[in-house]
């Protein structure tokens, strides 16, 4: 996922900021997955954080420990951005790892961002496989001028409605080779406090597939790096 994201965003991003925690949002220890050597060609500031249990209550989500961890990690890049020599008209793209902005649309999206200062990026949702289109779209990703958010919290920015740019990219969620990874995510993400389902892998797969709409072809509307490396990502493409 990170490889696809970096390749797509490298066409227009000057500086990447990546934050990884050594725990899941549900509080379980996890290994660190980021490989500095593998992604050394990209300009990346990488941070490892500890999701301690004394994180302040979030103002934008339910006050559970899982959501506190989620919101703390999401806003952590502000502590990095505030130390950089940013200009008020610099563009900040605030997205989760699985929310990828379409490089071919960046300059059009940038135009609207400059008009409205901060905008929401609506993306079609794909679950489990790169080409398993889900029924809902998502509008959580944001693009904003630094001057409009530098005194704000990225969770508030993400949850504030405004101008919505439609079909801005792709939201590849629960991307997985097998059902064990789906089960692991359900046990790990901030919504885990709300989950009452059985985490057994096959049941986890069926739960996520309730949002399934249809299988689509991988064509020129997908990330260029995916289109040019179909064999590499064959395990993440469904029939």
Task: Give residue limits of the domains in the chain.
Answer: 2-236
CA 156 to chain centre: 16
pLDDT at position 59 is 64
Give the integer Cα–Cα distance in Å for 210 and 182.
13
Is there a contact between 143 and 109 (Cβ–Cβ < 8 Å)? yes
- What letters, b where the CB count within 10 A reaches 16 and e where it falls short, cover 119-143? bbbbbbbbbbbbbbbbeeebbebbb
Instruction: Provide the 10 A C-beta neighbour count for residue 172.
Output: 27
pLDDT at position 28 is 82
H/E run at residue 169 = strand 169-173
pLDDT at position 58 is 66
Rounded to a whole number of angstroms, the distance between the first and last alpha carbons of the chain is 19
- Tell me which residue of 32, 141, 123, 23 sits closest to 72, measured CA to CA: 23
pLDDT at position 113 is 96
Rounded to the nearest 10 degrees, how much is the dihedral formed by the CA atoms of 157, 161, 165, 168? 50
- Tell me which residue of 121, 126, 116, 127 sits closest to 102, measured CA to CA: 121
Instruction: Provide the 10 A C-beta neighbour count for residue 73.
Output: 19
Give the integer Cα–Cα distance in Å for 172 and 127.
6
Overall pTM surpassing 0.85 (yes/no): yes
Please list the pLDDT of the chain residue by residue as tens digits (239 residues). 999 999 999 999 999 999 999 988 878 888 999 999 999 999 999 999 988 666 766 666 667 888 888 888 989 999 999 999 999 999 999 999 999 999 999 999 999 999 999 999 999 999 989 999 998 887 889 999 999 999 999 988 988 888 999 999 999 988 888 777 777 777 666 666 555 555 777 877 787 788 889 999 999 999 999 999 999 999 999 98
Helix ranges (DSSP H) in the chain: 2-9, 65-75, 77-81, 106-116, 146-149, 154-158, 179-188, 201-208, 224-227
pLDDT at position 191 is 63
- Tell me which residue of 131, 135, 134, 137 sits closest to 217, measured CA to CA: 131
3-state DSSP helix/strand/coil percent for the chain, to nearest 5?
35, 25, 45
């Amino acid at each position: 996922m990170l490889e696809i994201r970096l390749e797509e965003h490298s066409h227009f991003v000057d500086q990447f900021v990546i934050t990884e925690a050594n725990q899941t949002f549900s509080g379980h220890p996890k290994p660190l997955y980021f490989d500095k050597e593998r992604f050394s060609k990209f300009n990346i500031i990488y941070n490892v954080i500890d999701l301690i249990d004394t994180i302040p209550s979030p103002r934008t989500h339910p006050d559970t420990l899982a959501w506190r961890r989620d919101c703390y990690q999401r806003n952590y890049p502000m502590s990095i951005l505030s130390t950089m020599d940013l200009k008020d008209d610099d563009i900040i793209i605030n997205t989760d790892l699985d929310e990828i902005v379409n490089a071919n649309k960046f300059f059009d999206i940038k135009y609207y961002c400059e008009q409205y200062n901060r905008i929401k990026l609506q993306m079609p949702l794909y679950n489990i496989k790169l080409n398993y289109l889900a029924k809902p779209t998502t509008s959580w990703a944001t693009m904003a001028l630094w001057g409009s958010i530098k005194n704000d919290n990225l969770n508030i920015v993400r949850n504030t409605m405004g101008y919505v740019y439609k079909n801005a990219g792709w939201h590849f969620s629960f991307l997985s080779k097998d059902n064990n990874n789906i089960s692991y995510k359900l046990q790990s993400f901030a919504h885990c406090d709300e989950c009452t389902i059985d985490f057994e892998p096959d049941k986890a797969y069926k739960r996520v597939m309730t949002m399934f709409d249809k299988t689509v072809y991988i064509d020129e509307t997908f990330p260029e790096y995916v289109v040019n490396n179909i064999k590499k990502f064959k395990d993440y493409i469904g029939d």
